Amino acid sequence: MTEITGGAESYEEVKKTAADILTRVKCRPVVGIVCGSGLGELADMVQDAETISYEDIPGFPVSTVAGHAGKLVFGKLGGKPVVLMKGRVHFYEGISIHKTALPIRVMKLLGVKILFVTNAAGGLNQSYEIGDLMILKDHINLPGFAGMTPLRGQNDERFGPRFPATSKAYAKRLRDHAKSTAKTLGFEGFNIHEGVYCMLSGPSYETVAECRFLNMVGSDAVGMSTCPEVIVAVHCGMEVFGLSLITNKAVMEYDTEQVANHKEVLEAGLKRSKDVQKLVAAMLETLEI
């Protein structure tokens, strides 16, 4: 069979994977949620949970990173049927850029209409503090500048159009809904911003010069994921909501002992995870689908 998008699974292969998953679970999800580093505890709020390990899904990418459990969790969250990715895969793990976004295409064929993506990110904006949340209003996909995009190659119209527009990738109604929901919840001790996320391929954290450059060109936070998933979601016609947890401050000065590390990321994720859970669940409770 001819491969679609330069190494990506064909529509028939993705459809087969989705059909196989649907035989194992009762839930028929309309919302998909991708959990970033340290945010997998959101799965604990899912009611009537049904779980499938990535390893048990033929052809499904498996995460190798601490803080990413590697499970699909189906059930109800905020009264809505959901499928939650407890852990994602990354390009830096040696997985193709197409494969990192495969779960989103599977979600589409499971019936998902709205995608929530969360991530742990370094704060480039100097007003951001560790533990703050950032609603994504846009992104800069730097790997895409070098041609590393999950849409590279032959296009299959059954997934989406050859040239999808991403200028409105992050749905305004979902961003507005997040802000109003957060206000209703009355969070204290941290701020909620709206900003631009930038993806680098990783796994090395950014140099000082890179951080300064990214901030100068309009990036508020930086991480190593999310953009491929969002691009594929938009291609598939999904609505997207993105949320970054600021787990560390990007190092912007040379004369400092501060360094970024993954342990710090996971600790910040654990500390703020309850608030992220509350926000996502409350959003779903009042979300029109």
Catalytic residue among 119, 125, 219, 225: 225
Catalytic residue among 120, 148, 238, 268: 120
Q: Is 49 a catalytic residue?
A: no
Q: Is 37 a catalytic residue?
A: yes
Catalytic residue among 206, 248, 268, 273: 248
Catalytic residue among 92, 129, 281, 282: 92
Q: Is 69 a catalytic residue?
A: no
Cα 188 to Cα 258: distance, rounded to the nearest angstrom: 27
DSSP output for 154-191: ---TTT--SS---TT-S-HHHHHHHHHHHHHHT--SS-
Q: Is 93 a catalytic residue?
A: yes
Cα 81 to Cα 195: distance, rounded to the nearest angstrom: 29
Q: Is 254 a catalytic residue?
A: no
| Residues 131 and 246: beta-carbon distance below 8 Å | yes
Q: Is 10 a catalytic residue?
A: no
Catalytic residue among 43, 68, 193, 205: 68
Catalytic residue among 49, 148, 182, 224: 224
Q: At what angle do helices 102-110 and 11-22 cross, to 10 degrees?
A: 60
Please tell me what DSSP assigns to residue 28: -
Q: Is 92 a catalytic residue?
A: yes
**Among candidate residues 261, 205, 264, 266, the one with its CA nearest the CA of residue 214:** 205
Q: Is 98 a catalytic residue?
A: no
Catalytic residue among 252, 262, 264, 281: 262
Tokens coding 242: 């993105």
Is residue 265 helix, strand or coil? helix
Catalytic residue among 8, 9, 18, 37: 37
Q: State which amino acid sits at residue 276.
A: V
Partner residues linked to 86 by β-bridges: 71
Catalytic residue among 90, 139, 177, 193: 90
Tokens coding 202: 């990783």
Q: Is 225 a catalytic residue?
A: yes
DSSP output for 50-63: EEEEGGGSTT----
**Among candidate residues 225, 83, 201, the one with its CA nearest the CA of residue 145:** 201
| Residues 34 and 229: beta-carbon distance below 8 Å | yes
Q: Is 262 a catalytic residue?
A: yes
Annotated catalytic residues are: 37, 68, 90, 92-93, 120, 224-225, 248, 262
